[in-house]
Amino acid sequence: MTFIFPLLLFLFCNLSIASPTVPDQLFSPLIPQKVANTTTSLPSPIQYPQYTTTWNVSNPGTWQDFIPDTWTSGFFPASLYALNTRKNLCGATDANALGTVDWVELGRSLSTGLIPLETNNTNLQHDVGFVSFPFAEELLMCVSPNCRDCSRCLAFRSNSQNETAIQAINAFAAALAARFNPLVGCTRSWDTADPTDFTVIIDNMMNLEVLWASYALTGNNTLIDIANTHANTTMINHFREDGSTWHVVEYNSTTGDVIRKRTSQGYADSSTWSRGQAWALYGFANMYNHTRNSDFLQTAQRAANYFLEHIPSDGVVPWDFDAPLNPPPRPADSSAATIAANGLLLLAQLDPADADHWSNAAIQILQNITSLAWDSSWQSLLSNGTVDWPAGNFLTGIVYGDYYYVTAANELVRMGLAECKESVASSPAPTSTTSNRDSRARQIHWGTKLSIIIVILSMNLY
């Protein structure tokens, strides 16, 4: 009995567990190979992949292409630019397959199909922000691939292609700004038959980025006023006390009053749709990145904590955190996982006090979703995406899930949390600097410590 408490104290203070491991698949040569192959199979006139066929058909994992006037059309061209960033970060070798094509020229070529949407679109509505992504990526090439600050990068170059990108950014930002209602304090998401029904979805937090990009080009302060007002209104009305979010909030456009809070793609009006929670986490972290408004940081932290605390014990992000396990299945959503991982990595850079916590959580999510959803036989990088469970669209690959899978790996390299050596990612070698992030490997999770203590006590060693 006398030795047990010193032993427990020793274990409590000195035991450590390994940090989550960056999955090798994040840097697999299959990523550029699959993406390059997809570019050769796109139809003419151009259509863009959105999701794949599901697992229980004769050709599972085959991309389904959609007209440009679709909210997801910017993600595949943006993925080409992301692979150019990967090539700049990692170099191009035969082993990593990053030198097989000119990613920038492909990105420019495929983005041309989006240009007519600047003045003629009926389906995009608020999602002009997402469609602007490849044009923003074009302009972000102005400096080192380690730069991600639009206010420093945009408008540095002046070739004709960049003029096209600048025009696109400004046009899409103007379209989003035109959907702003000052009485409501938000940009309208979906158009409705009743014009007084002003619908705002949590996803719209991510579309605000195009306003910041255009502000960087034009200095138009109205755009950032709209972004800030939308974020503040969303912070008040989309969040529950526990940090979870509603998918949809409906306002009265003439009074600004909230009419209803509900879901569209989640399990129930009272549930938390995981992809919406991921959009909230990432969107508010991004707003804090632009403004340094501490309210936005706290909101991003609340969203992140809820997300992490409600991942089930198997580590796989479900399509809705409140969807029942029975009757099965309760499918995962690989896109929610990769979006959240990117948001957490951004949060790690903005919240130094908890940087290790956020980055470890991001890597763990990527590790778990890779174990579940990486499928070398599919055209998509990941399977197990849930596009829209109520509509019966799940267990698919999703283009934005793949895009955020690529960008997460790029961020890990930028942050010094992974190295791309040929086709294998590894954690950086430890250094003697105590502030180095590798010190996270020496941290002990309280839950693990307590579990060890309970086990030892149950052994009845005394």
Three-class SS state of 388: strand
Torsion angles phi and psi, residue 168, rounded to 5: -65, -45
CA distance 331 to 49: 22
Please give the pLDDT value at position 346.
98
CA distance 108 to 254: 42
- 140-193 tens-digit pLDDT: 885 455 555 544 444 444 445 689 999 999 999 999 999 999 999 999 999 999
Q: Which helix (H) or strand (E) holds 215?
A: helix 209-218
pTM above 0.75, yes or no: yes
Please give the pLDDT value at position 459.
39
Q: Based on C-alpha coordinates, what's the Rg of the chain?
A: 23
Please give the pLDDT value at position 383.
98
Note the residue count of the chain.
Answer: 462
248, with CB counted inside 10 A (0-12, 13-18, 19+), is buried
List of residues 6+ apart from 182 with CB closer than 8 A? 229
Under-50 pLDDT residues of the chain: 1, 3-16, 143, 150-159, 423-462
Closest CA to 132 of 213, 35, 50: 213
